[in-house]
Structure 1
């Protein structure tokens, strides 16, 4: 799985469950306004999160792969669908479903990656 997809899923997971027990990369430096959060991490990767109603727009730059990526997340009650595309042509789709304190996540990528996993506020992913 490409790094951008990992970061976007991790970002989505952190936004959805609010707490993660996984070890995170070095903290990023962020700037925030009412609807926009823009960050750059210690490795030079950059991303932004913009909210408009129940839709989240993520955009980023992956320094290692020197590629840009964008992802859109649309929420419908307890279900969030996401689609993304990268400058190298990779595309991905998936969903996250909240059930109490648990999220059920599934995604697939044109690069051949795909997974289904469950995350909990108590036990993590």
Structure 2
């Protein structure tokens, strides 16, 4: 999985669990409405987040790989599952589980990337 997309998935996973602002790797300019957040960073990457109940629908463009992608996050209590696909055919799945102030995160992609990491609101990731 491309580095930019990996950072974005990580950031959005944190956003979905309430740990976002202090963890974002770079700042982006965003516009917000009631259910939609649209952002673009200084590198030309763009994404949007649409909220419908406990489901997040994400779409974006990755400048480095010149590819579009889409991801769906579904939350069930303290557990959030996500699946995504990119315009080059790469697909990924993963989950984020919240335990107190800690999140346990895991994902894998059809491109061979996989990761498991734990984040804390106090100490970070």
Please name the residue that 2:17 is paired with: 16
Matches within 5 A, 1:33-112: 33-112=33-112
TM-score, scaled to structure 2: 0.92
The answer to whether the 8 Å contact 2:12/2:20 transfers is no
The answer to whether the 8 Å contact 1:107/1:116 transfers is yes
Q: Which runs of 4+ in 1 moved over 4 A?
A: 19-23
Please name the residue that 1:30 is paired with: 30
Gaps of 5+ in 2: none
Cα deviation, 1:73-97, whole Å, max 9, x if unaligned, reads 0000000000000000000000000
SS of the residue 2:64 aligns to: coil
TM-score, scaled to structure 1: 0.92
Gaps of 5+ in 1: none
Task: Return the structure number with greater relative CO, CA threshold 8 A, min gap 6.
Answer: 1
